[in-house]
Structure 1
Amino acid sequence: MSLGQKLAPHLPFLRRYARALTGSQSHGDSYVKAALEAIIEAPEQFPLDVDPRLGLYRTFQAIWSSANPESDDGSAHPAGREGIASARLGRITPLSRQALLLTAMEGFTAEDAAYLIDSTPAEIDELVADALAEIARQTRSRVLIIEDEPIIAMDLETIVRDLGHDVTGIAVTRDEAVAQALADRPGLVLADIQLADDSSGIDAVKDILARFNVPVIFITAFPERLLTGERPEPTFLITKPFQRATVKAAIAQALFFDAETVPA
């Protein structure tokens, strides 16, 4: 099997990580493209002594670090999502965010994450704890949950409240979701894909976004269906069955890039 064939199954998830790290599909994809170009130009430098997925993320991390996208020299921040991220990055270290995403969202062990960012497992644990605590201090919001499975909805509600956020409601259909969003505007939406009446959580989100902008985290048992690269993809995507840490990381990241939760 060629190196390309070994790496192909992992590319959608590397793109997800890059997108969450940058807050932008286009920016995230540009770093993934640069990493792939580096592998093509010098395949002999690709680490063959580790799992291909680790080697792929390691190459990406090297590109990301060399670009130094999260440096902050005190100059004025750009507008838009990059500006929002820059404002927050002055209050949280880049390594903490990377450690959080690599472990909680991408599922790497502390040992693997340590390899990826040249750290130690103990330091990774500290970085993750620091990231969660700092982002929690920076972000407080109100969350609408769109989920038709009662047990999953209750679990999500508990996670949201444990993070210090309020829940505006739990909707089980497209119509309920839109009605609740309009009645009590949330600052974040957690949306399942398949809903109780066979309606679509994607359609519910489209309806909501047609009225106002709000960060959205999609939840699905089939993430590959939304990670095709054929159309705009959700910035934040959680795979079912999910780990609580994954949901916490996604919420933290979604609010990290949200203008309405930027502290004064």
Structure 2
Amino acid sequence: MSSDAPQDIASGIAANLPYLRRYARALTGSQQAGDRYAAATLEAILSDDSVLGGAETPKLGLFRAFHAVWSSAGGMVSEAPDDAVSRRAQRRLSALTENTREALLLHKIEGFPFEEIAAIMQVDAEEAAELVEIALREMEGALAGKVLVIEDEAIIAMDISSIIEEMGHTVTGNARTRAEAVRLARAERPDLILADIQLADNSSGIDAVKDILADVPDVPVVFVTAFPERLLTGERPEPAFLISKPYSEDQIWSAVSQAMFFSSTETLAA
């Protein structure tokens, strides 16, 4: 191994750490708990870098090390979720078959193929694919709700709305600005918000969401952005569901389904 190898590994881990934190946040329902697992993963690597398992890429090794820590802890979250949305999310975890949500997040949100999921979770590729299919079946058609789309690019807004409607949800409106988003949310309370970060009038989708949540708290949010690292800094509360542009239909489907499934109440579809 060359003298540059440890530095290359460190650089690769640093580059992929925001995405591990995103995954851990979605998995645990708590930014604090997710960061605790991420920190434990880094400590494990520093103590013995063999936990990386000779992975082909730093990202694969980092996620494999995380799952070694996660599995050794029994996949349990020891602290209270961040908010009411996260509390509902954790209650619904018990309804899913063991290991299926991990596989679904790894595949649909983080983009790992089944062979790499198998390496991360220490199963074979066929089992990894089956875990994802089980999660999809268990979530499919479970709930339908009203979704507010906040997106300033008309073609993207139409595409996202089409995906959401094909899933059986209702789109309450497409907002291009912060003010329009707030107005639409007040006119018809959404069950979920899907928001871009940069809006048409240079206003912020983050600020629009904050305004809406001040009126109707505990509504789950999915952010779509070309710059996910800007929201994955650890310096402020972060979204549980964050999709990178360019997105795939599968990513929209997975994030919306999970947010709706795990964050909903019994009266959501009423």
Please give the TM-score of this superposition, normalised by the length of structure 2. Answer: 0.88
Matches of 2:174 and 2:214, distance apart in 1 = 20
Q: Offset at 1:90?
A: 2.8
- What CA distance in whole angstroms lies between the structure 1 residues aligned with 2:37 and 2:267? 26
Deviation at 1:224, TM superposition (A): 1.2
Say if 2:52 is the partner of 1:37. Answer: no
Could you tell me which of 52, 60, 66 is aligned with 1:54? 60
Q: In structure 2, do the counterparts of structure 1 residues 194 and 45 end up closer, same or farther at CA, with 3 Å as the change threshold?
A: closer
Tell whether the 8 Å contact from 1:23 to 1:257 is kept in structure 2 after alignment.
Answer: no
Partner SS for 1:167: strand
- The AA in structure 2 aligned to 1:216 is V
Residue in structure 1 matching 2:20, options 14, 18, 27: 14
2:247 is the alignment partner of 1:258: no
**AA aligned opposite 1:36:** L
Distance 1:23 1:183, change over 3 A: same
Q: For 1:247 and 1:11, locate their aligned partners in 2 and report how far apart those are by CA, in whole Å.
A: 22
Pair 1:88–1:122, CA change in 2 (3 A): same
2:152–2:177 contact (8 Å) kept in structure 1 = yes
| % same residue | 52
Aligned residues: 256
C-alpha displacement at 1:120, in angstroms? 2.6
Deviation at 1:80, TM superposition (A): 4.4
What TM-score, normalized to structure 1?
0.90
Q: Who is 2:131 aligned against?
A: 127
Q: Find out whether 1:244 has 2:249 as its counterpart.
A: yes
1:165 to 150, 154, 169: 169
Give the alignment of 1:114-193 within 5 angstroms: 114-193=118-197
For structure 2, the residue ranges without an aligned partner over 5 or more in a row are: 78-82
Map Cα deviations across residues 69-110 of structure 1 (whole Å, 9 max, x no partner).
Answer: 359xxxxxxx94564234322321232111111011001111
Paired AA for residue 20 in structure 1? A
Q: Which runs of 5+ in 1 are unaligned?
A: 72-78
Q: Quickly say closer, same or farther: Cα 1:235–1:83, change in 2 above 3 A.
A: closer
Residue in 2 aligned with 1:67?
73
| Corresponding position: 1:223 with 2:223 | no
Give 1:123 deviation, angstroms.
Answer: 2.5
- 3-state SS of paired residue (1:199): coil
